[in-house]
Every structure is written in structure tokens, then in C-alpha cells.
Amino acid sequence: MPSVNASRKGQEKPREIVDAAEDYAKERYGISSIIQSQEKPDRILVRVRDLTVQNADNVVWVRARVHTSRAKGKQCFLVLRQQQFNVQALVAVGDHASKQMVKFAANINKESIVDVEGIVRKVNQKIGSCTQQDVELHVQKIYVISLAEPRLPLQLDDAIRPEVEEEGRATVNQDTRLDNRVIDLRTSTSQAIFLLQSGICHLFRETLINKGFVEIQTPKIISAASEGGANVFTVSYFKNNAYLAQSPQLYKQMCICADFEKVFCIGPVFRAEDSNTHRHLTEFVGLDIEMAFNYHYHEVVEEIANTLVQIFKGLQERYQTEIQTVNKQFPCEPFKFLEPTLRLEYCEALAMLREAGVEMGDEEDLSTPNEKLLGRLVKEKYDTDFYVLDKYPLAVRPFYTMPDPRNPKQSNSYDMFMRGEEILSGAQRIHDPQLLTERALHHGIDLEKIKAYIDSFRFGAPPHAGGGIGLERVTMLFLGLHNVRQTSMFPRDPKRLTP
């Protein structure tokens, strides 16, 4: 008798059925041949999330994964899962199902995809373990559409278990998750994280397009290392070498010089940094903005901060389900922000840190622990998880940063923070070729190497400012997660290039 795990042979054979001469249900179950687009049946597949008391007593078809199965005498209980939703299904010996059919259902490997025909039945007691708590599906037909191998490299129930919950119960470590990302991404937590991330991109663009921004596409292969030679990946480009862009900044600026006025782009950013931390990736997604302004770069700071606020609001309005799903595994305070956004000057931040006992020089950059501490101090004082830190010391910023006209040790530059971690770095850029040359020389930069950059400003350049946001960091910090690898579908770091 061929079991459910028997290998499929030959595609022409329409269906393999558990052999049983006297099986009155033999047409009602089995392993389908590979769907090769043989036919276009009229059948309507109902979504699991739509299985409610509203369609009680209806006969429906559902395609879902077998999340769990449990045989119990003449019955088999299945949990059928579809994305974040699941429903209980019952195969019981009776008019529609034979004992062979119950056995078949009980032996379907977890994670297999099945087509099920069943009657939606209201249940008397809520099914606490399923999202569809008020109904179950009484199975009349069940066909395996795609059979999973019997041994899963990780269990989905382990993968969504809160790590603090019960000591001794299995959780899944990060490398196992990432090595088997196709399965790890099926958990309700992963589904929710990446639906929300898709929402961040959507809200970012929606907000900017409404503000009159133009989307641009910037090249990733470049002929010279744009921000100095360090931390850049080299590419073999036919008979020469080229590099991977560490940021779209030069191209955003060229678009400003080319009169596009307000531009944004979403794309990969590459950093050959050998940093193995919770927040560094060698390839991440940059949400980049650049904008000509009239008289003051705060026009741009306000646009960017407002854009982030629109993202936060949109997420809290449209993605409550996803936020709650993630919170079940990773509990976290809701993200707080002010309107208008809090803008602190660097010297104010220094004063707060010093009052808290930190010793720092006026022109010293913030260390990661001090950023974190500052985030806590700001949260205590202003009750916000999001703020702008403005007027960084000129000494700690790149050569193209516009100096503050009033204080030569300060600059027109800013970072933005979420829960005490930097998510954006930006500045007014120098748009005057002469001043840019002076600043490059001051930094000891070889002018030959940045000639094309400086030349971009020789034919009339409007004052402009911008910044780059790290998508994975925004996702991580909005949800209060602790590792950027949780918010990158296929993360890249110095030690990981797969899958």
C-alpha cells in the first residue's frame, strides 16, 4: 500500500490513491500530480481568515499548509495554516471519510500544502489555539498539492516561542533560523515583521509623493569609491575594477543639481565593514531623501522628520495586527513620538549626558552606549522615542558637510534616533565648488579622486540637504526588536552570505 510519503512517479499519472479495493472514500483523498496548469477549474478557494460563523454550514475549498495533525481513534484533527491565520479541520470516519482516509490525513507531513473541501461548522467552545476560534472545518476531501519532507529543520511552534516564557522549552537559534529562512519566514512573527516592513516602504513613498518628491534610480556600480576608499566592495568590471556604492548620495545630489528639486530612492547600500554587531549589515536597504531648500536646511529636517512621523502613524493605524503578533513573541512598549518632532542641539545633548555623569569633549562624537543613554534621558524628560539631534561638531562629520555660519566648530548636520539608536544621518551639503574644495583639502582628500563630485556643482547648484534612513533599523526599532537580522529577509554580514 503506497503511503503518503511514497515518491511520486511519472507526471502523466493523475492521482495516487491509497490502495484499498473496499475503500468507499478512495476518490476523496490522495496526492495530486504536480500542478502543471493542466486545467482551469472553476473552484473558488476561500481564505482561512474568511472562515467565520458567517459561512457556517457552507461547503468550501481551502488551500493551506498542514501546521499540525493529531490522530485520535477514528478522527484526525489538523490545524491548517495560511500566512498568519489558522483553522482546525476534522477528518472523521463517516459518510465522507473512510478509516483509510483518516489514516492518510494523519500521515501527511507537516508543512505540506493541501486542498481541502469541507463544511464550515460552528463550534460550541472557542478553539484557543487557532486564529479562527469559532468554526472548524469538517473535511470531505483532502488532496496533497505539495508534499513536505518528513523532517523539518526547525519547528514553527518553537520558532515563535517567547524566549523568556518557559525555561527548558525549545526555541530556535538565529543561525538555524537564517540557514532555513524559507521555513522561518513562515512563522506568524516573521510574516508580521515583513508585512510591516513592506508598509514602511509604502508609507515612505506615499508621504513623499504627496509632497511632490520624484523617485530616482541610482547606479550601484561606480567607478570610484564615493566616500573615500575604506569599507568599499570591489567588483571586477570587464577588464577593470569598479566599486559598489556605499550610498546614493552623489547621485541624489546630482539630481538636485539637475533640477529635480526633491528626490527619493529606495535601494541597496553596501558597506564592506567588518562589524559583527546587532545593528550592522554589509548590505542594507537605504531610504534616501535629498531636497533643495530655499533658505534654511531646517526646511529639510522638518520634511524628513514629518515623513518619519507619517510612517509611525501609518504603521500604528494600519498594522496593529502585525504589531500585536510581533509583541506576542517580543513584548515591547508602543513606540512614542511627538508632533512636531523634538529637535535637540548637540550641545544640549552633551549637557544632559554630562549631568548624568558622562565625560565628553565638545567636539567628540557619541559612542553607541552614550547614544543609548541619551535615548533614555530624552525619553524620561520628553516622553518620546524619536528625536532629531542637530548641529553636530564639524570635526566628526564628512568633508561635504556645510559648516555652521555662526559657529565654525559646529555644522548644519543632524542624526535622527529611534529608541536611542541612530536611524538617519544627514546634513546640508556644501553646494559651492570652492568651499567644497577647501573642505576636502582640510580633510586631506585627494582632489583628483573627487573631481567629478566637485564638478557637479560648477554649473549652478541650489542649496540642499538630505539624509539616508536604514530600513532594517527602522523596522527593528519601531517593533522594539534587538537584532537587525530579524528585519532583513536575507541578511548579509561579514560571516553570512547565504541563503
Is there a contact between 33 and 46 (Cβ–Cβ < 8 Å)?
Answer: no
CB of 245 to its own copies, least distance (A): 10
Within 61-90, which residues bind its own copies (CB under 8 A)?
A: 63, 65, 82-83
Q: How far is the CB of 433 from its own copies (least distance, A)?
A: 9
Cβ closest to its own copies, residue 162 vs residue 267? 267
Residue 167 bears catalytic tag: no
Q: From CA 184, how far away is CA 173, in angstroms rounded? A: 11
> Between residues 375 and 403, which has the closer beta carbon with respect to its own copies?
403
Instruction: Give the separation between CA 86 and CA 322, rounded to whole angstroms.
Output: 15
Instruction: For residue 452, state whether it binds its own copies (rule: CB under 8 A).
Output: yes
The C-alpha cell at 33 is 500530480
261, 273, 299, 345: the catalytic one is 273
Give catalytic status of residue 280 as yes or no: yes
Return d(Cα 361, Cα 355) in angstroms, integer.
14
Of 221, 230, 356, 447, the one binding its own copies (CB under 8 A) is 221
222 binds its own copies (CB under 8 A): yes
Residue 214, helix vs strand vs coil: strand
Close Cβ partners of 56 (under 8 Å, ≥ 6 residues apart): 120, 121, 122, 135
Residue 496 annotated among the catalytic residues of the structure: no
Measure the CA–CA gap between 422 and 477, rounded to whole angstroms. 10
Identified catalytic residue from 419, 429, 473, 485: 473
By CB under 8 A, residue 10 contacts its own copies: no
Cell matching residue 490: 536575507
Q: Is the CB of 94 or the CB of 267 nearer to its own copies?
A: 267
Q: Is 177 a catalytic residue?
A: no
Question: With respect to its own copies, which residue has the nearer C-beta, 23 or 302?
Answer: 302
Residue 279 is a catalytic residue = yes
- Cβ at position 139, least distance to its own copies in Å: 18
Among 307, 329, 410, 412, binds its own copies (CB under 8 A): 412
Q: Is 191 in the site for its own copies (CB under 8 A)?
A: yes
The residue annotated as part of the active site, out of 28, 138, 279, 431, is 279
The candidate with the shortest Cα–Cα distance to 147, out of 12, 16, 27, 47, is 16
Active site residue 422: yes
Is 39 one of the catalytic residues?
Answer: no
Retrieve residue 163's grid coordinates.
524566549
Residues 145-174 that bind its own copies (CB under 8 A): 145-149, 152
Among 132, 197, 207, 410, which residue interacts with its own copies (rule: CB under 8 A)?
Answer: 197
Backbone angles phi, psi at 442, to 5 degrees: -55, -35
- Is the CB of residue 269 less than 8 Å from the CB of residue 285? yes
What CA–CA distance (Å, rounded) separates 328 from 462? Answer: 49
Site string for its own copies, 229-248 (x = CB under 8 A): ----xxxxxx-x-x-x----
Of 290, 330, 329, 335, residue with least CA distance to 315: 335
Choices 170-178, 322-330, 371-379, 458-466 (CB under 8 A): range interacting with its own copies: 458-466
3-state secondary structure 199-211: HHHHHHHHHHHHC
The count of residues interacting with its own copies (CB under 8 A) is 112
3-class DSSP state of 465: strand
Annotated catalytic sites, by residue? 271, 273, 279-280, 422, 425, 473
